[in-house]
């Protein structure tokens, strides 16, 4: 089956790739819930990844995200990240990378223009609509930082539970899904929407869909082909990188 999909890759004029937590797990990145260990295990996800939780305990939530940022400091992109980056560099305009991950490993591997559906854990933004006095570069240091004029708090630049995905990013991802000849769904259980819906959109638009995952996923029935294995094992030979 790998050789068949290699042929699809070679024939495809335009490829969309959707990646999930499994790609980063190979680099040792803990999942959202795996990171809630030790001291952090006492808190529910709703306490740590919702606007309400942040407003109720801003320092606690800020410190948890800083803890997660620190966990990522020594993590490196793996062979799967690098294979995607090399293919994109060798075939300009042929691949759009869409990710559910917030860890920035695709970008560190050399991918540009990554569509980050769930944001970027290393970026920040204002909690409330910024006023003219709000400038991230001049936020007062703290846990979390804040605007010294109006008190607006700085929050992590990720999508929390109950929040909409960034509209422009989602639109670009849906455009890629509808226009691609081939979609590779890599390292995701396919249970989180609207991200998982991209595979359905791609198939409905006539693209071939391939799921690469070590275990069964909720998108297996949508796929034309299933490749069992990790991104680091499968992507280098599949993409010739």
CA–CA distance, 157 with 72 (Å, rounded to integer): 16
CA–CA distance, 89 with 68 (Å, rounded to integer): 30
CA–CA distance, 33 with 147 (Å, rounded to integer): 31
Give the H or E element holding residue 235. Answer: helix 231-239
Kindly state the average pLDDT of the residues 166-180.
Answer: 97
Lowest mean pLDDT among 33-47, 154-168, 185-199, 207-221: 33-47
- Burial label, 7 (beta-carbon count in 10 A; 0-12, 13-18, 19+): exposed
Q: Cα separations (Å) of 11 from 42, 104, 114, 182, 207?
A: 51, 29, 23, 9, 12
Q: Which residue has the tokens 């359905």?
A: 200
Return phi, psi of residue 102, to 5°: -115, 10
Q: Which residue has the tokens 């930082």?
A: 145
pLDDT in the model for residue 58: 97
Q: What's the N-to-C CA distance of the chain in angstroms?
A: 18
Neighbours of 225 (CB within 10 A): 15
pTM reported for the whole predicted model: 0.91
| Radius of gyration from C-alpha coordinates of the chain | 19
% of the chain beyond a pLDDT of 90 = 82
Q: Give strand ranges (E) for 44-165.
A: 95-99, 115-116, 119-126, 154-158
Return phi, psi of residue 201, to 5°: -65, -40
In tens, the pLDDT along 112-155 reads 999 999 999 999 999 999 999 999 999 999 999 999 999 999 99
Of 170, 127, 172, the residue nearest 150 (C-alpha): 127
225-227 and 119-126 strand pairing: unpaired
Residues with catalytic function: 118
Of 186, 120, 125, the residue nearest 158 (C-alpha): 120
Confidence of residue 6 (pLDDT cuts 50, 70, 90): very high
Kindly state the average pLDDT of the residues 157-161.
Answer: 94
What is the CA angle 74-31-200, rounded to 5?
Answer: 125
210 SS3 class: strand
């Amino acid at each position: 089956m790998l050789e068949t999909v290699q042929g699809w890759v070679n024939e495809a004029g335009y490829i969309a790739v959707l990646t999930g937590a499994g790609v980063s797990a190979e680099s040792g990145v803990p999942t959202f819930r795996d990171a809630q260990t030790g001291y952090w295990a006492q808190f529910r996800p709703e306490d740590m990844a919702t606007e309400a939780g942040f407003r109720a305990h801003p320092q606690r939530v800020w410190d948890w995200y800083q803890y997660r940022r620190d966990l990522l400091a020594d993590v490196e992109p793996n062979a799967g990240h690098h294979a995607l980056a090399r293919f994109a560099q060798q075939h300009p305009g042929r691949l759009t990378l869409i990710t559910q991950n917030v860890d920035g490993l695709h970008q560190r591997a050399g991918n540009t223009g990554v569509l980050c559906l769930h944001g970027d854990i290393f970026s920040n933004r204002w909690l409330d609509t910024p006023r003219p006095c709000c400038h991230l570069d001049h936020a007062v240091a703290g846990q979390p930082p804040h605007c010294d004029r109006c008190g607006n708090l700085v929050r992590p630049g990720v999508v929390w539970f109950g929040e909409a995905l960034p509209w422009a990013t989602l639109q670009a991802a849906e455009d890629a899904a509808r226009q691609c000849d081939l979609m590779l769904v890599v390292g995701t259980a396919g249970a989180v929407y609207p991200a998982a819906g991209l595979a359905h959109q791609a198939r409905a638009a006539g693209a071939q869909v391939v799921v690469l995952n070590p275990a069964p996923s909720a998108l297996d029935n949508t796929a034309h082909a299933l490749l069992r294995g990790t991104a680091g094992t499968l992507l280098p030979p599949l993409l010739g990188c």
